[in-house]
Structure 1
Amino acid sequence: MVEGYARASAAPGAPMLGRAPSFVRGIAGLTGWRRLGLAWLAGALGALAMPPYGILPALIVSLTVAVWLMDGAAADRPALRRLWPCFLIGWAWGFGYLTAGLWWLGQAFLVEADEFLWALPLGVIGLPFGLGLFYGAGFGAAGLLWRRGPARIAALAVGVGAAEWLRGHLFTGFPWNTLGMALAQNLWLVQWAAEIGLYGLTVLAILICAAPATLATGSHPRSRFGPSAAAAIVLAGMALFGAERLGPPDPVVAGVRLRLVQPNLPQDAKFRPENRADIVDRYIELSQRPVEAGDPEPTHIVWPESAFPFLIQRDPDALAKVAAGLKPGQHLVTGAARAEEPLPGERLRYFNAILVIGPDGVISDSYDKVHLVPFGEYLPGPLDAALRALGLRQFVAVPGGFSAGTLAAQRILAVPGLPPVAATICYEAIFPGAILPAGHAAPSARPAGLILNVTNDAWFGDTPGPRQHLAQARLRAVEEGLPMVRDANTGISAVIDPHGRIVAQTPLDKETWLDADLPARIVGGTLYGRFGDGAFVLMLAACLIGAVTGRRI
């Protein structure tokens, strides 16, 4: 071990590291598989900062080690010669981070193991392996800007911050466990999402968590201690701002009482068309459970995504039974598959939808899911024919897969007695800036009063997945300044106020219901709601200037 450290002290990273301790020089001096192995482990450790664990120091250690590995790869090399080794470090770091953070996806392949078990490695290993390329690109871009001193922390924020944005947008986007979530779990810190959004929080998370790397590598007291001191001041300032912004509990909307029904239906043979009568009866029975003494009767019933294993719009008897289960004045908002009558020569098209059903049994409005899950709800176009020729299908057994609602048709859902509803289905709630339809912020538009998210997390069992999903949905409420009403088949169902406070929630994997008032929206909205990722772009630009002009100290 001593000999290894001695060799590391003569490694290319030595000038970059100044008077760094021997263990830091040892990390920077790693090459080949040892370097990539440590990068993978550091990334995996960083996943502990995500829900449900929320251990922020884990991301601090993770990014600190990443900076030291980058020091060894970038030092004393021309910019272009840094690109490949820095890319590999970033890819390995991202591979580890996503493997440790998304392992629970494997649970979905076990629901119908006879058909999908073979693909489990593709979901648990293949997806993190591929998405790790975004981090590789981010680290590679940072390597081009890498230089001695605190400026390299800004370089990392530029490269990885931009990579996280790209991960959330390219190839349909998958912004799950974006690094900003490390700051979004604390109720005080998350208030900044109303100003800068998830990607702005991501830039801050990288700057704050990577700053301690300079404690062991700076050659001047200002460069050694300055970044960590600045990070501590920023964290304290964020907390003070958040505490001030929270204030008293949000008021509630008069005349609205919600009942969220959580049937806890398993994702197995019980959820089949032949069991339709029992399933509908189960929903109705939970919807009609008596209220607590002194509580008002629910005005609106909410059922989760894909509530029925059949097309209720084409089943008059089931629709009539549902309507008969509603009390006068009550309305049902439910997830359901919806079919659209085909034109001559076309096949029947199916949509993952939300339906609004009144006590007269009439479907008064609907919303079709726009952002479908690749391989879950449809097979991507180039692979569709080839995979179906092999006898494969998407997870949800709908002939031909679901069709996506068009962006032009994405709109606010009209529910009698409720403020305008921004409708989302399943993982649509994880996409920042995509909650409201384009142009909805126009002065002539009636502002949305709540975000509705219906989902079915039964695929993932009692794993971190459902908890991570809830945390990301909560962040949308803070970003937009809107309450979130979230109904999940197996949980976690919740009502969240526009400051991110969970007013009420259900446990996971339990048949139950939840009665709650509807918190009011924030009047005037939020800065993020008006300008989207504008603050994030400005933060990236500031970090780029800092990375390019920062002094070599």
Structure 2
Amino acid sequence: MTLQRFSPALGCLLALAAGVLTTLTASPFELWWLGPVAVGLVYLGLHGLTPGQAALRGWCYGVGLFGSGASWVYVSIHDYGYTGVPLALFLTGLFVAGLALFLAATLWLYRLVTGPRLAFLSFAGAWVLGEWLRTWLFTGFPWLLLGSAHVDSPLAPWAPIGGVYLLSLITALTGTLGVECLRRRWWAAAPIAVLWLAPLALPAQWTTPAGDPLRVALLQGNLPQLIKWTPEGQREAARTYRTLTLAQPDDVDLIVWPEAALPMLEEEARPILERVQSNLAPDTALLTGILQRDGSGLYYNSVIGLGNAEGEYRKAHLVPFGEYLPLESLLAGTIAFFDLPMPTMTPGAEGQGPIHAAGTTIGNAICYEIIYADRVAEQARGAELLLTVSNDTWFGRSIGPLQHLQMARLRALENGRYLIRATSNGVTAIVDPQGRVTARAPQFETASLSGEAVPMAGLTPYTRTGSWPAWLLAALMVLPGLRRRPTG
């Protein structure tokens, strides 16, 4: 057995292990240095395979990645989807196997159109193009992207330049170059050194303060998900958030309640909100997640402002099977599991502006939206502060909420903005423009997190351009490896 050839079974086993290693790069493990190792294990011996064999290896990697890193799906389905263990296991397995097809397709296409020439470049480029495909195809699922682990690594200064996909590209290229080093092609060590040492010369901060720090209070109600939408849960939610809000000092600038803090429609919550607003200090703003219904009977997952705030934001990127049912005409009434616990949501309009609150402009992302880097960058272009509200109760006590926070931290770093994150039961946190958590509430407790967030002016290179330069670079890296048609 050599680095070039080993049995297909061993190759699939290594790919499966590589997927698990990629999960270990993410929170709560944060072993970011395993990323290049995982890529190297997939890259090893790949060019001795047919496209079909490569697809199988990619699928095994995906099963390892999502089977370990997205295992929280089982919690959502079993604990809160009212399904038995066998069905929950089946649906979770189906979810994992389906997502793994993205990796299978990436490696199949890579082996179909490329050869061994400059493979270390073309493979890294193909990897990132596969991540791009997974971000948008079938509404997308950009969870556990290779670059998301590097918010705390030496590569972090690349994030404001090219975002998560540039981080993925550098990580993948490090992995393939590392394999070339193992093959005693020592020249490969030089570009690795450049990629990892260059951040020492990059600016530490691309944005500047736009005003005085805001005193913020993020409220975490910790209401049980299983009773939240019952009359008892609605009363408890109203009592909890009203009490936590009244306990805030008069000098707080901004109070934030999480996603759907009051489990009712805005029209039903209005009397409660008006009583809370009447007790706010004149200069205090309150933002809350709420469900809205318009005059046409359409429902929206929204953020609205009270007191010293104006404007609203409606969630534009919805969660399939959680907030709406794809192919509803075919599936509705046939699978009881897909009965949603709330009305089917309607996506908000694209290009929504910021909310104005406490004298600053706030870009918004509701729950799942924070994992979409380009969507957050679009919001950041017109905002001085970023806000995400979420209900991570669906994750239970799994690793999901910690992964979710890590991706939110990377959005702050990419855009050079403070990010405030209010959740139902954690992880509620304040993140600075370097992606560092400056304040954090304990999980699974009723809490009020107080701290400061500074409005920031200026745009990072990534905020200006979004991800397309990294995607273009990835495509250009694939080109030299394309198979040449024989002439004559």
Fold conserved between structures, TM > 0.5 = yes
Q: Hey, what does 1:459 align to over in structure 2?
A: 394
Residue 92 in structure 1 maps to residue 69 in structure 2: no
Q: Hey, what does 1:11 align to over in structure 2?
A: none
1: CA distance between counterparts of 2:98 and 2:151? 26
Q: Hey, what does 1:403 align to over in structure 2?
A: 346
Q: Hey, what does 1:228 align to over in structure 2?
A: 189
Query: Equivalent pairs: percent with the same residue?
Result: 29
Code of the aligned partner of 1:30: S
1: CA distance between counterparts of 2:87 and 2:301? 24
- The match for 2:329 among 385, 395, 398 is 385
- Which aligned pairs between 1:256-295 and structure 2 lie closer than 5 A? 256-289=214-247
How far the C-alpha of 1:152 sits from its partner, in A, is 1.5
How far the C-alpha of 1:228 sits from its partner, in A, is 3.3
- TM-score (normalizing by structure 1): 0.81
2: CA distance between counterparts of 1:225 and 1:257? 53
How far the C-alpha of 1:426 sits from its partner, in A, is 0.3
How far the C-alpha of 1:431 sits from its partner, in A, is 0.3
How far the C-alpha of 1:241 sits from its partner, in A, is 3.5
Q: Hey, what does 2:404 align to over in structure 1?
A: 469
2: CA distance between counterparts of 1:435 and 1:300? 21
How far the C-alpha of 1:107 sits from its partner, in A, is 1.0
**Secondary structure in 1 aligned to 2:305?**
strand
Conserved 8 A contact 1:185-1:471: no
Code of the aligned partner of 2:6: G
2: CA distance between counterparts of 1:478 and 1:395? 38
Conserved 8 A contact 2:316-2:347: yes
Code of the aligned partner of 1:350: Y
- Which aligned pairs between 1:200-239 and structure 2 lie closer than 5 A? 200-218=166-184, 224-238=185-199
1: CA distance between counterparts of 2:260 and 2:201? 40
Q: Hey, what does 2:458 align to over in structure 1?
A: 524
- The match for 1:498 among 420, 430, 433 is 433
Q: Hey, what does 1:125 align to over in structure 2?
A: 93
2: CA distance between counterparts of 1:354 and 1:116? 34
Q: Hey, what does 1:298 align to over in structure 2?
A: 252
Q: Hey, what does 2:280 align to over in structure 1?
A: 326
How far the C-alpha of 1:35 sits from its partner, in A, is 3.5
**Secondary structure in 2 aligned to 1:261?**
strand
2: CA distance between counterparts of 1:50 and 1:270? 30
2: CA distance between counterparts of 1:193 and 1:60? 17
Q: Hey, what does 1:178 align to over in structure 2?
A: 145
2: CA distance between counterparts of 1:393 and 1:365? 36
Code of the aligned partner of 1:413: I
Conserved 8 A contact 2:159-2:462: yes
- TM-score (normalizing by structure 2): 0.91
Residue 350 in structure 1 maps to residue 291 in structure 2: no
How far the C-alpha of 1:113 sits from its partner, in A, is 5.3
Code of the aligned partner of 1:494: A
2: CA distance between counterparts of 1:117 and 1:407? 39
2: CA distance between counterparts of 1:364 and 1:44? 45
**Secondary structure in 1 aligned to 2:282?**
coil
Residue 514 in structure 1 maps to residue 449 in structure 2: yes
1: CA distance between counterparts of 2:123 and 2:106? 8
**Secondary structure in 1 aligned to 2:404?**
helix
Distance 1:313 1:256, change over 3 A: farther
1: CA distance between counterparts of 2:395 and 2:213? 36
How far the C-alpha of 1:195 sits from its partner, in A, is 0.6
Conserved 8 A contact 1:95-1:128: yes
Q: Hey, what does 1:160 align to over in structure 2?
A: 127
Q: Hey, what does 2:311 align to over in structure 1?
A: 365
How far the C-alpha of 1:481 sits from its partner, in A, is 2.2
2: CA distance between counterparts of 1:194 and 1:337? 33
Q: Hey, what does 1:12 align to over in structure 2?
A: none
5+ long unaligned stretches in structure 2: none
Query: Larger Rg: 1 or 2?
Result: 1
Q: Hey, what does 2:204 align to over in structure 1?
A: 245
- The match for 2:31 among 46, 55, 68 is 55
2: CA distance between counterparts of 1:317 and 1:297? 25
1: CA distance between counterparts of 2:339 and 2:413? 32
Alignment root-mean-square deviation, CA: 2.7
- Which aligned pairs between 1:429-440 and structure 2 lie closer than 5 A? 429-435=370-376, 437=378
Deviation by residue 1:461-504 (Cα, 9 ceiling, x = unmatched):
22211111111111112222222111111111111122222221
Residue 337 in structure 1 maps to residue 291 in structure 2: yes
Residue 422 in structure 1 maps to residue 363 in structure 2: yes
5+ long unaligned stretches in structure 1: 1-7, 9-19, 74-81, 219-223, 343-347, 442-446
Distance 1:133 1:485, change over 3 A: same
Q: Hey, what does 1:534 align to over in structure 2?
A: 468
2: CA distance between counterparts of 1:154 and 1:85? 21
2: CA distance between counterparts of 1:311 and 1:44? 41
Distance 1:233 1:337, change over 3 A: same
Q: Hey, what does 2:478 align to over in structure 1?
A: 544
Using CA pairs below 8 Å that are at least 6 residues apart, which structure has the higher relative contact order?
Answer: 2
Q: Hey, what does 2:103 align to over in structure 1?
A: 135
Moved over 6 A (4+): none
**Secondary structure in 1 aligned to 2:70?**
helix
Between 532-541 and 482-491, the greater mean CA deviation after superposition: 532-541
**Secondary structure in 2 aligned to 1:268?**
helix
Deviation by residue 1:187-213 (Cα, 9 ceiling, x = unmatched):
x52221111111111111100123221
Q: Hey, what does 1:38 align to over in structure 2?
A: 14
**Secondary structure in 1 aligned to 2:82?**
helix
Deviation by residue 1:91-142 (Cα, 9 ceiling, x = unmatched):
2212212211111221112323534756523553222211222212222233
Between 164-173 and 272-281, the greater mean CA deviation after superposition: 272-281
**Secondary structure in 1 aligned to 2:427?**
coil
How far the C-alpha of 1:160 sits from its partner, in A, is 1.2
Code of the aligned partner of 1:241: A
Code of the aligned partner of 1:232: A
- Which aligned pairs between 1:11-26 and structure 2 lie closer than 5 A? 20=2, 24=3
Distance 1:332 1:182, change over 3 A: closer
Conserved 8 A contact 1:137-1:159: no
Q: Hey, what does 1:313 align to over in structure 2?
A: 267
Conserved 8 A contact 1:145-1:155: no
Distance 1:545 1:423, change over 3 A: same
Conserved 8 A contact 1:387-1:393: no
Residue 488 in structure 1 maps to residue 423 in structure 2: yes
2: CA distance between counterparts of 1:315 and 1:303? 13
Alignment coverage as a number of residue pairs: 484
Between 419-428 and 49-58, the greater mean CA deviation after superposition: 49-58
1: CA distance between counterparts of 2:62 and 2:261? 36
